């Protein structure tokens, strides 16, 4: 959502007039909503909201749980009922349960075109990947230039195994994926590893068709003053985290570091959705008294928590093909100019970016020795000075949202020229 919001915020000044087509929020079901972000939509941008049809309201009534999100991060260990519902979701709703919005979206576009409006291009962003089928249909019906923005892999997304798909359902989902990759005029991805993944599947795709356009950070969100605490070394994680992210080794190393440096008050803070498995790991490491759990907060408050930290925790889920998982928060972490402790695979896209920015490196899940030495070095630095902030880096400025919006504007202008030709 941040990705599209920031594009909409900056595209008008770059000569691109966006029209946003989305759902009526009162007719959809979401795990969390941040109404404060609506203030960032420029006053002149047209936002069209439509009805939708989805099963998540029924899911909430049947289970008493909130809508699954972040790869079922808020479900914990699934019981039999959850497993059955996952099977239903994976085999009856393909690509996903949000597909019920598609007909409403297509009808809204048809009304605009019937009124004589024209567009240089349509951009569809996912997940949910069912949204890409809207772009596919618009291209078929009207020959519209189409940019398919896939923020995550499709059939290889890290929670795909939890959907319990049959061979037939898996085939249909893969069929949709290939249709989109072949038909779109441009495929946008957020990491080089995702581009490599798609090209392994379809090596005959034209050179230049897939464009790596990373996520980023908005400089306007980081106008506040950094205020690292002087009374403790506070490590903060923002967003969703589950036991599948495997931070247990880091937690044990954090406990050992606290014991080895009694003069350094170590504190851990989680802001957002934290499942029961991670909470149990915190307790097992003996860190309960040193850990603070805060609920989901509006985005501007999340940024303030970053700025009031000594260092930041980033975790990559321990799943297949995770070298291409590049959480959007990594760029906001870099914009906060704090050291980053990244639990994840060495050599990944996240590891490369952190090293380039001199903000840290990946700490592989089972490399306890590296975790311990990294934390000990952090504690020793804190003893010398509690302000661990990093200097500004040209690498970080590459990922400013304005820069990414300018690249997207160039792709839209290319579509405009192709359309005229």
pTM assigned to the model: 0.88
Are 46 and 20 in contact by the 8 Å Cβ rule? The answer is yes
Contacts of 396 (CB under 8 A, 6+ apart): 331, 334, 335, 337, 357
End-to-end alpha-carbon separation of the chain, Å? Answer: 33
Q: Are residues 211 and 250 in the same domain?
A: no
CB atoms within 10 A of CB 111: 11
Rounded to a whole number, what is the largest CA-CA distance in the chain? 71
As separate numbers, helices (DSSP H) first and strands (DSSP E) second, the chain gives 15, 12
The DSSP result for 312-354, as a single string, is EEEE--SSTTGGG---THHHHHHHTT--EEEES-TTSHHHHHH
Q: Are residues 134 and 251 in the same domain?
A: no
Q: Are residues 238 and 361 in the same domain?
A: yes
Element (H, E) at 132: helix 131-142
Residue with more model confidence, 238 or 71: 238
Q: Are residues 192 and 72 in the same domain?
A: yes
Q: How many domains does the chain have?
A: 2
Q: Are residues 146 and 199 in the same domain?
A: yes
What does the alpha-carbon distance between residue 183 and residue 190 come to, in Å, rounded to a whole number? 19
DSSP 8-class letter at 116? T
Q: What b/e string do you get for 170-183 counting C-beta neighbours within 10 Å, with b at 16 or more?
A: beebeebbeebbee
Q: Are residues 271 and 298 in the same domain?
A: yes
**Relative orientation angle of helices 167-183 and 131-142, to the nearest 10 degrees:** 50
Write out pLDDT tens, residues 102-149. 999 999 999 999 999 999 999 999 999 999 999 999 999 999 999 999
* pLDDT given at position 36: 87
Mean pLDDT value of segment 173-187:
97
Backbone angles phi, psi at 82, to 5 degrees: -65, -35
Are 291 and 282 in contact by the 8 Å Cβ rule? The answer is yes
With a cut of 60, say whether residue 168 has pLDDT above it: yes
Q: Are residues 412 and 392 in the same domain?
A: no
CATH of the domain at 224: 3.40.50.2000
With a cut of 60, say whether residue 373 has pLDDT above it: yes
Mean pLDDT of the chain: 91
Q: What range does the domain containing 307 cover?
A: 220-397
Q: Encoding tokens for residue 258?
A: 């606290």
With a cut of 80, say whether residue 17 has pLDDT above it: yes
User: What does each C-alpha distance from 138 to 18, 147, 327 come to in angstroms?
Assistant: 17, 11, 30
Residues in the chain: 421
DSSP 8-class letter at 264? S
DSSP 8-class letter at 162? G
- Residue listed under structure tokens 């490590």: 235
With a cut of 80, say whether residue 72 has pLDDT above it: no
User: What does each C-alpha distance from 413 to 14, 145, 203, 408, 410 come to in angstroms?
Assistant: 10, 11, 27, 9, 5
Backbone angles phi, psi at 388, to 5 degrees: -95, 10
* pLDDT given at position 62: 54
Question: Which pLDDT band holds residue 258 (cuts at 50, 70, 90)?
Answer: very high
With a cut of 60, say whether residue 164 has pLDDT above it: yes
Q: Are residues 112 and 227 in the same domain?
A: no
User: What does each C-alpha distance from 175 to 103, 130, 162 come to in angstroms?
Assistant: 20, 12, 20
Q: Are residues 296 and 359 in the same domain?
A: yes
User: Where do runs of H (alpha helix) occur along 79-226?
Assistant: 80-92, 102-114, 131-142, 167-183, 192-201
DSSP 8-class letter at 214? -
Q: What b/e string do you get for 30-43 counting C-beta neighbours within 10 Å, with b at 16 or more?
A: ebeebeebeebeee
Q: Are residues 182 and 283 in the same domain?
A: no
Are 27 and 52 in contact by the 8 Å Cβ rule? The answer is yes
* pLDDT given at position 70: 56
- Residue listed under structure tokens 């402790």: 341
Write out pLDDT tens, residues 77-101. 667 767 777 788 878 889 998 999 9
Q: Are residues 45 and 174 in the same domain?
A: yes
Are 234 and 269 in contact by the 8 Å Cβ rule? The answer is yes
Q: Are residues 77 and 195 in the same domain?
A: yes
CA dihedral 197, 199, 201, 206 (to 10 degrees): 160
Question: Which pLDDT band holds residue 76 (cuts at 50, 70, 90)?
Answer: low
């Amino acid at each position: 959502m941040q990705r599209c919001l920031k594009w909409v915020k900056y595209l008008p000044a770059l000569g691109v007039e966006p029209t946003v087509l989305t759902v009526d929020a009162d007719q959809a079901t979401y795990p969390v909503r941040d109404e404060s972000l609506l203030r960032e939509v420029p006053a002149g941008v047209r936002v069209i909201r439509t009805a939708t049809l989805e099963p998540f309201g029924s899911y909430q009534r049947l289970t008493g749980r909130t809508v699954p999100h972040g790869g079922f991060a808020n479900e914990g260990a699934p019981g039999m009922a959850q497993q059955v519902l996952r099977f239903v979701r994976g085999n009856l709703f393909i690509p996903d349960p949000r597909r019920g919005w598609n007909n409403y979206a297509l009808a809204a576009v048809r009304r605009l075109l019937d009124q004589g409006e024209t567009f240089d291009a349509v951009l569809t962003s996912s997940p949910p990947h069912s949204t890409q089928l809207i772009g596919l249909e618009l291209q078929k019906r009207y020959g519209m230039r189409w940019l398919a923005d896939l923020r995550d892999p499709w059939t290889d997304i890290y929670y795909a195994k939890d959907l319990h798909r049959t061979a037939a359902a898996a085939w249909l989902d893969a069929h949709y994926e290939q249709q989109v990759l072949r038909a779109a005029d441009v495929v946008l991805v957020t990491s080089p590893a995702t581009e490599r993944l798609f090209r392994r599947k379809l090596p005959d795709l034209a050179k230049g068709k897939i464009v790596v356009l990373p996520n980023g950070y908005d400089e306007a969100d980081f106008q506040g003053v950094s205020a690292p605490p002087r009374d403790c070394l506070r490590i903060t994680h923002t967003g969703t985290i589950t036991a599948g992210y495997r931070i247990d080794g880091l937690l044990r190393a954090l406990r050992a570091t606290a014991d080895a440096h009694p003069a350094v008050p170590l504190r851990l803070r989680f802001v957002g959705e934290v499942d029961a498995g991670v909470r149990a790991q915190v307790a097992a490491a003996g860190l309960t008294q040193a850990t603070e759990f805060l609920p989901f907060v509006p985005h501007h408050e999340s940024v303030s928590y970053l700025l009031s930290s000594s260092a930041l925790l980033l975790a990559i889920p321990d799943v297949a093909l995770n070298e291409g998982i590049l959480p959007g928060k990594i760029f906001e972490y870099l914009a906060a100019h704090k050291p980053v402790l990244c639990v994840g695979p060495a050599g990944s896209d996240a590891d490369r970016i952190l090293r380039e920015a001199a903000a840290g490196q990946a700490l592989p899940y089972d490399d306890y020795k590296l975790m311990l030495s990294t934390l000990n070095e952090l504690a020793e630095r804190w003893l010398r000075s509690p302000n661990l902030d990093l200097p500004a880096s040209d690498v970080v400025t590459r990922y400013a949202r304005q820069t990414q919006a300018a690249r997207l504007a160039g792709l839209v202008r290319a579509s405009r020229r192709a359309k005229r030709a």
